[in-house]
Every structure is written in C-alpha cells, then in structure tokens.
Chain A
Amino acid sequence: MRLFFINRYIKQKRLKSLLLCISLCLNAQAVDATEVIVSANAVGQLKNSHKLQAIFSLRTLYWPNGEKIKVFVLPDNNAVHKKFVKEKLGMFPHQLRRTWNRMTYTGTGQPPITVDSIEEMLDKIQHTNNAIGYIDRRVEGESIQYFNAP
C-alpha cells in the first residue's frame, strides 16, 4: 500500500515536471517569437487598418502623414526573417522575394533595405525616422516601439 503511494507520488512529481517542461518550452518559443518594431516618430502614425503584409509587400508605401515608410529586413536565409514572414505576414520568404524582384528589375519600385543582423536592425530603427523592421525578442529601449498589428 505504502509502495503504491510512493509510486503515485513519484508519478505526480513527474507529471508536474513534465508540465513545467512544456510551459518552459512554450515560454522559450514566446521569447523566440518575432516582434515588429517601428521608429519612435512613426508610432502615432499606426492605424488598425494598416496591414503588415501590404507594408512589407510595398503596396502601402506611405504613413498617413504622407511620409514614406522605410522598410528594413534581414536577409532571405536568416532564421528570424523566415519566422517573421511566416508568423506576421502569413507568407513564405520566396513569395516576398518574388514581389521585390519584380519591382526591382522592372524599375517599378524600390525593395526594402537589407540589414545583416538584429543589432543593425535595432540601430537603423532607432536612428531612422518613419522606419519599420522586426527583431527576434523584446528589448529595453525608449526609442524602440512595438507594432502589435492584428
């Protein structure tokens, strides 16, 4: 009988640690989720109707105050870029690249500026007006604003 209780106790403990493990995993993923960031002066410009897909596909080119949206992206093969495109735009990187290539090589549009790292992305968004980009985690900083679009 005692053995049974010990066994049960061990099982319960295992179950608890299993749950803890799953929640840790979920947390780790949440930390790893991409965050859309905009420069401080652009926050007031954001509207609920702004669609991230339209901004990054360069269909929406201007903020409501008439200033051009400056789009920054990471390279196509960057893990954070791939995650961002899937999670926040509902697209695949190759679809976005197709759109940008068509504009670039027919002269009908200017593609986003590619930065090489998260650090450079943060630097650009902090020091460029009317800019939008993304990073892989929330960071402290007054000049970094998060864009929680639907």
Chain B
Amino acid sequence: MNRFNTLMLRNILYFVCLLSCSVCAQEIDTESVIGASTQEDNKLWEGAKKAWRDDIQFHGFLSQGLFSTSGNNVYGKSKNSVSAGLTEIGLNISYRALKNLSFAAQGLYRRAGATTGDAGEVTLDFGFVDLNLLNLQEGRIGVRGGRIKNPWGLYNETRDVAFTHPTIILPLTYFERSRTLMLATNGGQLYADYNTSLGNLSFKFNYGWVNADDKNILTAITYDPTASGHLKSKPSFATQLNYEMMGGTYIFALSYADLSMSYQAKNSGDPYAQMKANIEAFMVSGQYNGETFSFVGEYSLRWSEFTDIRLGVADTSPVSEYWYVQAGYRFVDDFQATLRYDSAVQNINDKSGQVFHEKTGLPAQLTFTHDITFGLRWDITPVWMIRAEYHRVHGATTINLLDNPDFSKIVKNWNIYALQVAFRF
C-alpha cells in the first residue's frame, strides 16, 4: 500500500512536470503569435513614429466621471440625479533641446460642476524651462522657471490625471474646492535628487505666485457668495522632501507650503477690502506599494490666518487637521480594490462645529467631514481604465460651495456613488 502511494505520488509529480513544461511552451508560443499579428500594425505606425524627432514627446490623458449623490451636490447637480460633471483632458509636449536644457508644457481642459460652468475651462497646467546644472550618476541639481506643478503629498502634482491616483475623488487633504491654490507656482523651482544604495532622495522648492483668483476659495473663506472682488496671490512657497526605497516599494514624503493672498476689491464700499489670508500647511506621507497589497497614510495640519475679515466668521486663525489611511489590494495585476477612512476637521478647537454654528448660524457640518470610501479599479489595457466607488460621508467641510449655494440645506449624512472611465497615452 505504501509502495502504491509512493508510485502514485511520483506519477502525479511526473504529470505536473509535464504540464508545467507545456505551459512554458505555450507562453512562448502565444508571445510569438502576438508578435506576428501586431507586426503589420507596426508597419503602419512606423511611418508616423519616425516623423517625430526623438527628443520631442507628446502625451495626454482624458477622463469622464459620473456622479450620483444623496444630500449634497458634487461636480454639478448630482443630488438624487446623475451628473456627468467631471471631464479632464490634458495634452502635453516636452522637448529636450540640449543635454541640460529642456522645455515642457501641458494644456488642461477641465469641466467640474459650477466651478468651471458647463463649457469648462482651458488652462496652462504647466509650462517651464528646465536647466540642469549638475547631472551625475549619484544625482542631479537643477532649476525650472515658468509655471511648475506644486509638490504636496503623494498625489497633488498629478491630481488631474485619473490614472495616477487610487480613487476618483481624492482624499480630503487635497481640498478639492481650493485646488487652484495648490496646483502650480508661477515662478521658479530648485530641484535636487540624490541616489544611494539605500534609496533615492528628492527635494523640490517652489517659489513664486500661486493662483488665488478662484471664486471657490473666496467663498470658502468668507462663506459669502456675494463678495464681488477676487483674491490675488502674494509671494508664496511650496517644498517637499521625498524618499523612495526599493524601487518605490516604500515612499515617505514631507511637504510644506506657505501661501499668502490679499483681497482685491472691485468697488469702494466692499466690506472685505482689507482682507488678507495666509495659509501654512505641512503634510507627512507614507506609502507601501507591494505586489498585491498597498497601504497609504497621510497626515496634514493647516494654519490659516485671516486678517480684516468681516465680523461673523467664527475664528480668524483656525488650525485644520486632515488625515486618512488607505489600503489597496490587487486581485490580479489589472484589478484592484481600495478602502479608505478619511477625516477633515476645519478647526481643531471646534471639532463638532458647535461654536461655528452659534456664531454664524450656518450648519455645524460645514466644519468637518469623515468619509469611508470603497472603490474598485480595472485597468482594461495599459491605456484604458474604468473604476467605481462609493463614499459614505458624515459632514460637509470640503464640499463645493458653488455647487451647493444654499448653505442652510447642506446635509450632514450623505452618500456618493461615482463611476469614471479614463484614457492615457
């Protein structure tokens, strides 16, 4: 009996070996078949590819979102309805003119609910000249001048490129309604990379003017949609130190930003004429990117200082706190699930918003948000992706006030269902 068992075991092993051999062979076959079938297509492309100089590259992205919510609106009229209010299209060109000199620019078309209106907006997302001062195998140092993306946490620099972040709606710390503030700097950037056997350090320092001229930011500060002037940036800076280990398996980052702006009145009787705002913020980021699991955590504190703001605002120097923890699981290479707990508190001295409510008469939920997100993402091909997500939201501190103009009707507990399809090249 024992001998029989051993024989059986050997036979099974024999079979498994044969099977794996044939699988190996099959893999090779499929590859060569695929290679042959695409060869003709390649010839068609060959001409087009050769027409471009190899120091010039074009890339772009496109995404369309669908949103349905209860309680409050996101990206247009999504409440008890469906809104197709988020469209992002980007096209960029980069030109490596010399070994140490290159140019890059990206145009962005964005349609995002009431902020941009139905027609959407076209902006220059970035456009700069890059001068590389030192380039060694151990690292490099250089400067960029023009409009440069701001480093802030793990996702801000590519926040409009759907492929580059895990969920349709970014974590609350990326404050969607005041996104224009953090987007880019018109000015200069100093950058330095240092590569060691233990990991790669990267440092960026942006100095210049940010885009503060946004109705959403003004409304978020004043809670007054009738304010007729606009905000203008004063010299500001954003900086980040990033450390990546094991090819990006572990990523740590420290970000700091100091943004200043002042109110530009349209007419003489404007009650906000003397208003100024200063925002200082830091963020600590940590990420683990494994083969199947990924974990992300980011913690951020923001000190705001509003001077000469109209009476009625609860606190002219609130300290805001944002953090989230996120876990991702890849079932297979192209299919992943994400779960996140996200928290935002506008004023850590008034976490429930009670003081704010008493002083302003506005709903307390305008001062906090706690959001549980569950999302699924399928990368159909390397260039096409589709994803869906659900948010259970408690609070409304980060909602777009232009999409929800009646502040008294802002709801505390609500849901977001979202779907997005995206393309990149």
Which A residues lie at the B interface, using CB under 8 A? 14-15, 17-18, 21-22, 24-25, 28-29, 31-32, 49, 53-54, 57, 59-62, 66, 68, 70, 75-77, 79-80, 82, 89-99, 101-102, 104-111, 113, 116-120, 136-137
- Chain A proximity mask over B10-30: 1 for CB below 8 Å, otherwise 0: 100110011011001101101
Name the one of B17, B104, B334 contacting A77, with C-beta atoms under 8 angstroms: B334
Does chain A have a CB within 8 A of B135?
yes
Report the interface size class on chain B. 35 or more
Q: How far is the CA of A137 from the CA of B157 in the complex (A)?
A: 39
Which of A17, A54, A95, A111 has the largest count of B CB atoms less than 10 A from its CB? A95
Cα A17 to Cα B59 in complex, Å, equals: 54
A to B contact number (C-beta, < 8 Å) = 148
CB proximity of A116 to chain B, nearest CB, Å: 5
Alpha-carbon separation in the docked complex, A94 to B36 (Å): 27
| B419 lies within 8 A of chain A by Cβ | no
7 nearest A-B pairs in the assembled complex, by CB-CB distance: A107-B104, A91-B247, A117-B35, A95-B248, A21-B17, A76-B382, A28-B24
| Inter-chain contacts of B7 with A (CB < 8 A) | 14
Q: Give the CA-CA distance A71 to B289 in the complex, in Å.
A: 24
In the complex, are the beta carbons of A106 and B14 less than 8 A apart? no
B20, closest chain A residue (CB):
A25
Q: How far is the CA of A57 from the CA of B105 in the complex (A)?
A: 22
Q: How far does the alpha carbon of A118 sit from the alpha carbon of B234 in the complex, in Å?
A: 54
Q: Is the CB of A77 within 8 A of B164?
A: no
What are 24 pairs between A and B in contact, CB < 8 Å? A14-B7, A21-B21, A28-B25, A31-B28, A54-B195, A61-B135, A68-B99, A70-B54, A76-B382, A77-B379, A94-B289, A98-B248, A104-B59, A105-B90, A106-B126, A106-B157, A106-B158, A107-B92, A107-B105, A108-B191, A110-B57, A117-B39, A120-B39, A136-B31
